[in-house]
């Protein structure tokens, strides 16, 4: 797992001092989802909303091959999303804390919401604002005095930047085309820097999509 530059036990370090480990990778979910020497690009297509089940997200790689999909319930009393790989294996489960005073999602490894499998929390203020930053805290960061990752941008326009300290680790942008406009499809691109855990970034994109959905409905 990564650590902050010069970090010692219980040390408090500014977010600007966060650096990539010497290994050149930044694993959050797993090191197998990090490619040290290559920038990655994924496209995300959102299917139309379908009642309580919500609109599923389909994630393709740069060659347009299916890589992952997101599914789950979006009912008011149970907001949970599951990120699966192309073969259907559950990678992450995202669950919203409905009773929280903030807009907050917990992200777990696998399909169950076992507290022992909690990886990180993503939080923004409530009521939702279109450009309010999303702060991300790793599960071991229990005092939450300093965020571990941050996302800034315009969530409706799908224009967001993902930060690890002062370093940009990924960017989200809308893919505009005449075909998408004609078919009413919402497609956007994720560009991920070398060494960054791309499944972790995908989970944050799902949360941004939920922020967009709630902003448009509340």
Q: What is the CATH number for 53?
A: 2.40.160.200
b (16+ CB within 10 A) / e for 95-111: bbeeeeeebbbbbbbee
Note down the domain range covering 87: 25-217
Tally of CA atoms within 13 A in the half-sphere of 193 that contains its CB: 15
- Bridge partners of residue 151, in order along the sequence: 134, 162
Give CA angle at 170 (108, 126), nearest 5°.
60
16 in any annotated domain = no
User: Dihedrals φ, ψ of 159, to 5°?
Assistant: -115, 95
What is the pTM (predicted TM-score) of this model?
0.83
153 in any annotated domain = yes
User: For every one of its 218 residues, what pLDDT tens digit does the chain have, with 9 covering 90 and above?
Assistant: 444 444 443 334 333 344 566 667 899 999 999 998 899 999 998 876 554 545 588 999 999 999 999 987 655 556 899 999 999 999 999 999 877 777 899 999 999 899 999 999 999 876 666 678 999 999 999 999 999 999 998 877 778 999 999 999 999 998 766 565 555 567 889 999 999 999 999 999 999 988 877 766 55
Task: Enter the DSSP assignment of 131.
Answer: T
Q: Which of 133, 192, 149 shows the shortest CA–CA distance to 15?
A: 149
Structure-block tokens of residue 50: 């379908």
What is the C-alpha to C-alpha distance for residues 158 and 9, in angstroms, rounded to an integer? 38
As a whole number, the mean pLDDT across the chain is 81
For residue 122, give Cα distances in angstroms to 3, 170, 204.
Answer: 19, 16, 8
82 in any annotated domain = yes
What is the C-alpha to C-alpha distance for residues 204 and 152, in angstroms, rounded to an integer? 11
Residue 109 pLDDT: 97
149 in any annotated domain = yes
How many separate domains does the chain show? Answer: 1
């Amino acid at each position: 797992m990564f650590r902050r530059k010069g970090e010692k036990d219980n040390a408090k370090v500014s977010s600007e001092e966060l650096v990539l480990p010497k290994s050149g990778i930044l694993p959050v979910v797993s090191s197998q989802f990090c490619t040290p020497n290559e920038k990655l690009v994924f496209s995300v297509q959102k299917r139309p909303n379908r009642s309580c089940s919500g609109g599923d997200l389909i994630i393709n790689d740069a060659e347009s091959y299916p890589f992952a999909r997101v599914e789950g319930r979006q009912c008011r009393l149970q907001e949970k999303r599951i990120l699966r790989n192309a073969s259907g294996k559950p990678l992450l489960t995202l669950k919203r804390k409905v009773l929280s005073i903030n807009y907050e999602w917990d992200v777990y490894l696998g399909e169950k919401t076992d507290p022992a499998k909690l990886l990180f929390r993503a939080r923004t203020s409530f009521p939702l604002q279109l450009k309010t930053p999303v702060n991300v805290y790793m599960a071991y960061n229990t005092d939450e005095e300093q965020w571990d990752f941050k996302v800034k941008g315009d969530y409706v326009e799908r224009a967001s930047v993902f930060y690890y300290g002062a370093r940009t680790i990924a960017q989200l942008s809308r893919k505009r085309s005449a075909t998408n406009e004609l078919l009413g499809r919402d497609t956007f691109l994720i560009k991920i820097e070398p060494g960054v855990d791309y499944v972790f970034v995908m989970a944050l994109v799902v949360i941004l999509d939920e922020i967009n959905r709630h902003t448009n409905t509340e």
